[in-house]
Amino acid sequence: EPEVTQTPSHQVTQMGQEVILRCVPISNHLYFYWYRQILGQKVEFLVSFYNNEISEKSEIFDDQFSVERPDGSNFTLKIRSTKLEDSAMYFCASAFAPRGKLFFGSGTQLSVL
């Protein structure tokens, strides 16, 4: 079965630094998402992306966050100035249809020190 690939699997950064989390969605998928899961808490929606623009975002997705699909294959999440509370597992997901099967990557564990 095709897979969503995320890199790196772990990222450690200092507070205030910029990080970019990378994802390669499944090639024929059209809808792309970022979710995050703080340890011990529920999975939370961050943003959805379709047709090269953000289609929906949550309150968590403030001006410190941005997404990009720079080359038609990668899908990135950038956090401009990380905070301690940004420490979480970040999941990328993609789907061919928005209400169909959503494929998740294995996540990037971000630790902000």
How near is the Cβ of 36 to another protein at its closest, in Å?
Answer: 11
Question: Which of 16/100 has CB closer to another protein?
Answer: 100
B/e letters for 38-71, b = 16+ CB within 10 Å, e = fewer, are eeeeeebbbbbbeeeeeeebeebbeeebebebee
Q: Does 34 bind another protein (CB under 8 A)?
A: no
Q: Which of 19, 23, 48, 79 binds another protein (CB under 8 A)?
A: 48
- Number of Cβ atoms within 10 Å of the Cβ of 77: 24
**How far apart, in whole angstroms, are the C-alpha atoms of residue 99 and residue 42?**
20
Output the CA torsion sign for 61, 66, 68, 74. Answer: negative
**Between 75 and 103, CB nearer to another protein:** 103
Interacting residue with another protein among 58, 66, 74, 76 (CB under 8 A):
58
Site residues, another protein (CB under 8 A): 31, 33, 35, 41-45, 48, 55-56, 58, 89, 91, 93, 98-107
